[in-house]
């Protein structure tokens, strides 16, 4: 930055500054003439929109912090005071709490764009990983921020999530929990540290966003065709072409955002959070904010322990995937050994799972006291693992073609994956024992009794079998799909998908499209 020869500015003041600190030269280079692919579609607006949301959150947050009191006795009332008494406080608060949702909307679309068009692939792996870091920091910040109003959902959401850390073996309950909470439960010490962190983390996010954009300006942007620009005929200067396009997209996005702020400020929140926090009463149905729901569903989907049989089976399957799929040519094993590995691995994993569900078999090392990973810890690992997979995504998908436009199978896989994330989100919002479908097999009279809730009156020996599809099963099925997208489908597609022929250059593709539209 700033080492290239300067061209100089006509305005003497700008020139005076720029010759001492070439900030105007840098802005001109990075945001003025910066060569940007000429074929962006609307998906490429969401980076700028996310940046706008980050700034909105920081600005409204700083002002809100001037009116907020981080004390369990005063926090709830101070937030109500902001809404009712502080001049324009209702607006600031609505902007901030809906801003969190809209920041996530922008970032989720931005991430979808990155996956669909293969923006994570070389040379942009680090750019992508920095993005995942931003996403994790955003999740931490949003979670902590939701605790601050100190309503019932604040307290109990935080209780459930911080309890996840008690699942860490040996140190979780005894050392990590008290250190995290500053006491034995979520209380004043927790609230004050959460407030401090909620103020700090956005600036950390800002710093990582700076690195993210820096990395972007080293490699340049990806584009819908997923091929690199070859020369000036493939690019446009960032200003005015994309400053204007970003600005227009931002306005559309802001209209939607403003609609929620002014007409439905609580639509995305939970009514229970308008009840002051009470450590003695748990709300009947604790749900996190909508942007966490898919991950919450994954957390709850792990209702079984991971015993040694399952871990050994999964380990063997992992060796198979690395050796035969990921590595392309097996380095250490023969084909026969591979089949053995596949059979033994899946056999062990299925056997371990069955042994966990049928505790009456009393198979050694499967009792819940003897398992290395309990259901609770397994849920935590699955939840963090589901985000961790994004970090290694550039290596799970090693297909040379970036854009899904030229990979028909990958395209279907990504769309099914996206749909499964939405279904997981829905599953996360519903009680885990909710039944979607059920059939009753056996004695007709007994079935009728169950239907009418008189199960107690059924004679012994006449109990029917009830097959039910409940929410946990839905979450489990789509969690399996989520993980297999990354761990099975992407490596397989990387190896076997042929893909379509790529256009020779961006401008040729653009001109061809234009001719087609004209004819």
Partner 1 sequence: MSADTKTKNDNSHSENGETRRDFMQLLASAFGVVGGALAAWPLINSLNPAKDTLALATVEVDISGIPKGEAKTIMWQGKPVFVRHRTEEEIKMAEAVEVQSLTDKQSDQERVQRPEWLVTVGVCTHLGCVPVGQKMTDTRGDYGGWFCPCHGSHYDTSGRIRKGPAPKNLAVPPYEFINDTTIRIG
Query: Which of 317, 294, 344 minimizes the C-alpha distance to 481?
Result: 294
Beta strand 35-37 pairing with 435-441: unpaired
97 versus 383: smaller Cβ distance to partner 1: 383
Dihedrals phi, psi of 435, to nearest 5 degrees: -100, 125
Query: Which helix (H) or strand (E) covers residue 392, if one does?
Result: helix 375-396
Binding pattern for the stretch 207-226 against partner 1, x by CB under 8 A and - elsewhere: --------------------
Q: Does position 372 bind partner 1 by CB under 8 A?
A: no
> How many residues bind to partner 1 according to rule CB under 8 A?
34
- Residue tagged active-site, from 217, 228, 398, 497: 217
- DSSP-derived 3-state class of residue 284: coil
- The first and second tokens of residue 195, run together, are 């407030």
Q: Which of 374, 398, 429, 505 binds partner 1 (CB under 8 A)?
A: 374
Q: Are 293 and 143 in contact (CB under 8 A)?
A: no
Q: Does position 358 bind partner 1 by CB under 8 A?
A: no
Contact stretch for partner 1 (CB under 8 A) within 81-89, 103-111, 155-163, 397-405: 155-163
d(CA 20, CA 6): 11
Q: Are 260 and 136 in contact (CB under 8 A)?
A: no
154 is catalytic: no
Binding pattern for the stretch 427-466 against partner 1, x by CB under 8 A and - elsewhere: -----xx---------------------------------
Chain centroid to CA 257: how far?
21
- DSSP-derived 3-state class of residue 279: coil
Binding pattern for the stretch 292-331 against partner 1, x by CB under 8 A and - elsewhere: --------x--x----------------------------
89 versus 294: smaller Cβ distance to partner 1: 294
CB of 511 to partner 1, least distance (A): 56
d(CA 503, CA 494): 20
- Residue tagged active-site, from 18, 246, 272, 397: 246
CB of 129 to partner 1, least distance (A): 24
d(CA 465, CA 439): 8
Binding pattern for the stretch 173-202 against partner 1, x by CB under 8 A and - elsewhere: -----xxxxxxxxxx-x---x---------
Q: Which of 281, 343, 435, 468 binds partner 1 (CB under 8 A)?
A: 281
Taking residue 293's Cβ as centre, other Cβ atoms within 10 Å add up to: 20
69 versus 432: smaller Cβ distance to partner 1: 432
Query: Which helix (H) or strand (E) covers residue 109, if one does?
Result: helix 89-116
CB of 233 to partner 1, least distance (A): 50
152-161 burial: b if 16+ Cβ within 10 Å, else e: bbbbbbbbeb
Helices 375-396, 471-484: crossing angle, 10 deg rounding: 30
Helix, strand, coil percentages in the chain from 3-state DSSP, rounded to 5: 65, 5, 30
462-486 burial: b if 16+ Cβ within 10 Å, else e: eebebeeebbbbbbbbbbebbbebb
Q: What is the DSSP string of 420-466?
A: HHHHHHHHHHS-TT-EEEEEEES-HHHHHHHHTT-GGGSPTT-PPEE
217 is catalytic: yes
CB of 483 to partner 1, least distance (A): 20
Contact stretch for partner 1 (CB under 8 A) within 279-287, 341-349, 409-417, 494-502: 279-287
221 is catalytic: yes
122 versus 183: smaller Cβ distance to partner 1: 183
CB of 104 to partner 1, least distance (A): 23
CB of 191 to partner 1, least distance (A): 12
Q: Which of 94, 152, 162, 366 binds partner 1 (CB under 8 A)?
A: 162
d(CA 402, CA 223): 9
- Residue tagged active-site, from 101, 119, 154, 221: 221
CB of 183 to partner 1, least distance (A): 5
- Residue tagged active-site, from 96, 212, 245, 507: 245
Contact stretch for partner 1 (CB under 8 A) within 7-15, 79-87, 255-263, 284-292: 284-292
- Residue tagged active-site, from 289, 323, 356, 397: 289
285 versus 457: smaller Cβ distance to partner 1: 285
- The first and second tokens of residue 211, run together, are 């690195």
457 is catalytic: no
d(CA 62, CA 67): 9
Helix-then-strand count for the chain, H and E: 19, 4
Q: Does position 369 bind partner 1 by CB under 8 A?
A: yes
246 is catalytic: yes
Among positions 375-414, residues that touch partner 1 (CB under 8 A) are: 375-376
- The first and second tokens of residue 460, run together, are 């012994």
d(CA 374, CA 386): 18
The catalytic residues are: 217, 221, 245-246, 289
* Site residues, partner 1 (CB under 8 A): 156, 159-160, 162-164, 178-187, 189, 193, 279-282, 284-286, 300, 303, 368-369, 374-376, 432-433
């Amino acid at each position: 930055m700033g080492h290239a020869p300067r061209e100089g500015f006509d305005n003497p003041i700008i020139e005076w500054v720029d010759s001492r600190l070439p900030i105007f030269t840098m802005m001109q280079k990075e945001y003025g003439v910066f060569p940007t692919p000429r074929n962006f579609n609307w998906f490429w607006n969401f980076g700028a929109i996310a940046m706008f949301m980050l700034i909105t959150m920081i600005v409204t947050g700083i002002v809100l912090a001037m009116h907020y009191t981080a004390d369990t006795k005063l926090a709830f009332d101070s937030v109500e005071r902001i809404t009712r008494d502080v001049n324009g406080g209702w607006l600031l608060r609505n902007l901030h709490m809906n801003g969190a949702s809209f920041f996530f909307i922008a970032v989720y679309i931005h991430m979808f764009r990155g996956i669909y068009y293969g923006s994570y692939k070389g040379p942009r792996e680090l750019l992508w990983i920095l993005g995942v870091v931003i996403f994790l920091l955003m999740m931490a910040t949003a979670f902590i921020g939701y605790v601050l109003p100190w309503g019932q959902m604040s307290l109990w959401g935080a209780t459930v999530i911080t309890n996840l850390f008690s699942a860490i073996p040996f140190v979780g309950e005894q050392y990590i929990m008290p250190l995290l909470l500053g006491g034995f439960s979520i209380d004043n010490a927790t609230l004050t540290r959460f407030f401090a962190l909620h103020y700090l983390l956005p600036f950390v996010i800002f710093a990582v966003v700076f690195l993210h954009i820096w990395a972007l300006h080293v490699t340049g942007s990806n584009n819908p065709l997923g091929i690199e620009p070859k020369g000036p005929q493939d690019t446009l200067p960032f200003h005015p072409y994309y400053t204007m396009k970003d600005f227009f997209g931002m306005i559309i996005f802001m209209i939607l955002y403003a609609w929620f702020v002014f007409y439905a400020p609580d639509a995305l929140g939970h009514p229970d959070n308008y009840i002051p926090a009470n450590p003695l009463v748990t709300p009947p149905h604790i749900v996190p904010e909508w942007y966490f729901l898919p991950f919450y569903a994954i957390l709850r989907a792990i209702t079984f322990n991971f015993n040694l049989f399952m871990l050994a089976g999964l380990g063997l399957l992992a060796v198979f995937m690395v050796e035969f799929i990921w590595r392309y040519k097996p380095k250490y094993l023969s084909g026969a050994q591979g089949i053995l590995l596949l059979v033994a691995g899946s056999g062990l994993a299925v056997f371990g799972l069955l042994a966990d569900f049928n505790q009456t078999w009393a198979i050694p090392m499967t009792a819940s006291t003897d398992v290395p990973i309990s259901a609770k810890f397994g849920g935590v690992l699955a939840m963090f693992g589901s985000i961790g997979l994004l970090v290694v995504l550039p290596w799970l998908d090693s297909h040379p073609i970036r854009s899904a436009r030229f990979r028909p199978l990958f395209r279907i896989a990504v769309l099914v994956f996206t749909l499964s994330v939405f279904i997981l989100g829905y599953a996360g919002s519903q009680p885990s024992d909710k039944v979607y479908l059920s059939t009753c097999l056996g004695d007709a009279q007994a079935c009728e009794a169950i239907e009418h809730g008189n199960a107690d009156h059924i004679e012994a020996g006449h109990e029917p079998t009830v097959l039910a599809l409940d929410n946990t099963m839905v979450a489990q099925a789509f969690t399996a799909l989520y993980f297999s997208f990354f761990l099975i489908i992407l490596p397989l597609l990387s190896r076997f998908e042929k893909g379509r022929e790529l256009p020779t250059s961006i401008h040729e593709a653009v001109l061809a499209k234009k001719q087609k539209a004209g004819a």
